[in-house]
Amino acid sequence: MKVASQDGWDAWAINLRGHGNSRPKNLGKVSIMNYVEDVEVTLREIGPAILVGHSMGGLIAQIVADRNPKIPAVVLVNSAPPRGIFPGNRHTLARYWKPPYLLATTMHKPLNPQWGDMRYLMLNRMSPERAKQIFRDLVPESGRATQELAFWWLLGKATKIYCPVLVIGATDDRLTPVSIQKTTAQKYRATYREFPGAHVLPVEENWRAPIKFILQWAANHKL
């Protein structure tokens, strides 16, 4: 946000329902499309904007762009894949079949992050101290949204994006690996760029490099 502002861009960060300081009573039942609505409400206030989505936010950005043709561009960072691209890999499949995750997703309850899995899947490039700091900031996720995310490749809405798309992958991302990012880039005929890092690339040590690349890409497209 600060770097974008310093380069002359207006930038907004959206706290989706259940994130930030929002704590809806029915968090476990919140759907992907509810998150899409949150973004669209914001866009009605600020007007068309470049969408930058990370992880689940990447899938949300894809759906919003499909539904809103005036979106000028989309940037997907370590993004969850769209329909037609299987999201699983050996790292995630070995950890999904655990009682806390199965209960939360099937019963649509809040899904609480588990330290061991987050450390392995998302925080694997960080020092133990930095990883613990990031983990403390994580909040529960909707079990329903997580379930939809896992099966979006088969049951979710298909998406088409006609504006410029940039896909960013990270070399050591175990949750949404570079194979998924490259296939997503091929689907949208997008620019693809890979950086050293893991799943939470935006808050890792070398976060400035991908941010600078995104801003330069946007400037090159005169967005």
φ/ψ of 193, rounded to 5, equals: -140, 140
Instruction: Answer whether 164's CB lies under 8 Å from 88's CB.
Output: no
Domain count, the chain: 1
Determine the Cα–Cα distance for residues 31 and 172; give it in Å rounded to an integer.
29
What's the DSSP call for residue 194? E
pLDDT for position 20: 79
Determine the Cα–Cα distance for residues 133 and 126; give it in Å rounded to an integer.
10
pLDDT for position 92: 94
pTM above threshold 0.85: yes
Token pair of 6 as six digits: 């310093």
Helix (H) / strand (E) element for 169: namely strand 165-170
Token pair of 205 as six digits: 């040590």
Q: What angle do CA 147, 69, 185 make, to 5 degrees?
A: 60
Helix (H) / strand (E) element for 47: namely none
Give the range of the structural domain holding residue 103, as residue numbers without chain letter: 2-220
Kindly give, in sequence order, each residue whose CB lies less than 8 Å from that of residue 173, ignoring residues fewer than 6 positions away: 78, 181, 197, 198, 199, 201
Which amino acid type is present at position 42?
A: T
CATH number at residue 110: 3.40.50.1820
pLDDT for position 2: 67
Tens place of pLDDT for every residue, the chain, 223 residues? 667 777 788 889 998 998 877 777 899 999 999 999 999 999 999 999 999 999 999 999 999 999 999 999 999 999 999 999 999 999 999 888 899 999 999 999 999 999 999 999 999 999 999 999 999 999 999 999 999 999 999 999 999 999 999 999 999 999 999 999 999 999 999 999 999 999 999 999 999 999 999 999 999 988 8
